[in-house]
Amino acid sequence: MTGSDGVRCTLMRGGTSKGAYFLAGDLPADPGARDDLLLRIMGSPDPRQVDGLGGGHPLTSKVAVVSRSDDPAADVDYLFLQVAVDRPEVTDRQNCGNILAGVGPFAVERGLVPAGDTETSVRIRMLNTGELAVATFPTPGGRVDCTGDAGISGVPGTAAAVVIEFPQGDGPLLPTGNVRDVVAGTEVTCVDNGMPVVLIPAGALGATGYEEPGDLEEDVTLADRLREIRLEAGRVMGLGDVEDATVPKISLLAPPREGGAVTTRTFIPVRCHPSIGVLGAASVAAGLRLPGGVGEGIAELPGTGDRVRVEHPTGFLDVETDVDPGTGDTPPVVRRTAVVRTARKIFDGAVFPRSAETAPIPAQPSGGHHDSAAR
Ligand code: NQM
């Protein structure tokens, strides 16, 4: 495969993120060669990614690799790859529930899954975690139609709803075995309902939890504290040395202000998310339902029903979670999680990677944020 041949690619918005979607067969099978190609396609490393498809932010520097699944429980396999913006790095250490929203429509459009007459459900094995998701979306007349009247916070306008259901997973909801830990001197709840997240009361770090993401990113003292907590949390959560990893994420919690259950400011893990990730929100919602967690006294959970409205800087994300809090002897489990997203095909064609012979231009200071890994 050479740069001049181009590579078949579909650019899609998935939820509040944007990424390049590929059939696995259109990329090199060798992960090293694949990642090298993806860096050249996305334009990394470069704070502006001006020579590639990436948008200069972790949320627009994402890749989905999709193929038919060998697993009888799934129709397709989805591997999510986060392409760092200003470093020559591609990681599969995290999943992405926003990019997941585009996988079903992509799989139908590319002929991996037959479309139903009115709607189609696609069973997706998420290779990053081994977990399953089922995405259901309209296919009137047997064709994907991204238009519709579903609005999601953080995306202008409306589009067709993609309903995503996550059945019970295998991993522990509380990776440390505790509902509360003291990490780097701060009380936290470490939770993983598809995304490892450290929940921290915003007040414990001198924040209100209602700040603008940009203001939080400029707070150097806060950044140092978050880094310290994240490194230690990574170790106690069994993730090892997370210095260069994009997980765990950190969500600061504050009481809701818009009728939801909680307000969040989420670090992914250095940049502050303009909204919140899907699985990130799923982990927050599950964590709030655990008696004794740090969300107690902050969150206002609805008396009935499974829906938890997670407020964020640009609105809210509703997550349905059915949590069994367990007993002293049995650990808590999430029986089911569901969210509504939208997705849209933006472009389909051939992408022409930067030539492999050209040495990447060294990353320049971006005049503000250091965008390491997916930060
Ligand atoms: O948590 C950002 C996003 C994400 C991930 C991140 C996501 C998820 O908003 O499922 O969607 O946390 O890096 O795309």
pLDDT of residue 364: 52
Mean pLDDT over all residues of the chain?
Answer: 94
- Average pLDDT on 254-261 reads 97
| Closest ligand 1 atom, residue 266 Cα | 12
Q: Using a 6 Å cutoff on CB, does residue 154 contact ligand 1?
A: no
* 279 Cβ contact list (under 8 Å, min separation 6): 95, 96, 97, 193, 194, 195
Tens-digit pLDDT profile for residues 211-256: 999 999 999 999 999 999 999 999 999 999 999 999 999 999 999 9
Band (209; pLDDT cuts 50, 70, 90) = very high
3-state secondary structure 15-71: CCEEEEEEEHHHCCCCHHHHHHHHHHHHCCCCCCCCCCCCCCCHHHCEEEEEEECCC
pLDDT of residue 359: 57
What is the DSSP secondary structure assignment for residue 269, as one 8-state letter? S
**91: nearest Cα among 132, 125, 44, 133:** 44
Q: Using a 6 Å cutoff on CB, does residue 249 contact ligand 1?
A: yes
Q: Which residue's alpha carbon is at the smallest distance from atom 2 of ligand 1?
A: 277
pLDDT of residue 373: 42
pLDDT of residue 78: 98
pLDDT of residue 50: 98
Please give the distance, rounded to the nearest whole angstrom, from the Cα atom of residue 207 to the centre of ligand 1. 22
pLDDT of residue 356: 87
Strand partners, 318: 309
pLDDT of residue 95: 97
Q: Using a 6 Å cutoff on CB, does residue 277 contact ligand 1?
A: yes
CA distance 31 to 147: 35
Tens-digit pLDDT profile for residues 265-285: 999 999 999 999 999 999 999
CA distance 82 to 15: 16
pLDDT of residue 367: 41
pLDDT of residue 370: 41
pLDDT of residue 35: 98
Domains of the chain listed by start with CATH number: 3-168+343-373 (3.10.310.10), 181-330 (3.10.310.10)
Q: Using a 6 Å cutoff on CB, does residue 373 contact ligand 1?
A: no
| pLDDT value at 88 more than 50 | yes
> What is the pTM assigned to this prediction?
0.93
DSSP code per residue over 60-120: GSEEEEEEE-SSTT-SEEEEEEEEPSSSS-EE-SS--HHHHHHHHHHHHHTTSSPPPSSEE
| pLDDT value at 368 more than 80 | no
Which amino acid is it at 348? D
Tens-digit pLDDT profile for residues 313-348: 999 999 999 999 998 789 999 999 999 999 999 999
Q: Using a 6 Å cutoff on CB, does residue 37 contact ligand 1?
A: no
pLDDT of residue 100: 98
CA distance 254 to 262: 6
pLDDT of residue 343: 98
| pLDDT value at 300 more than 70 | yes
Residue with the bigger pLDDT between 375 and 347: it is 347
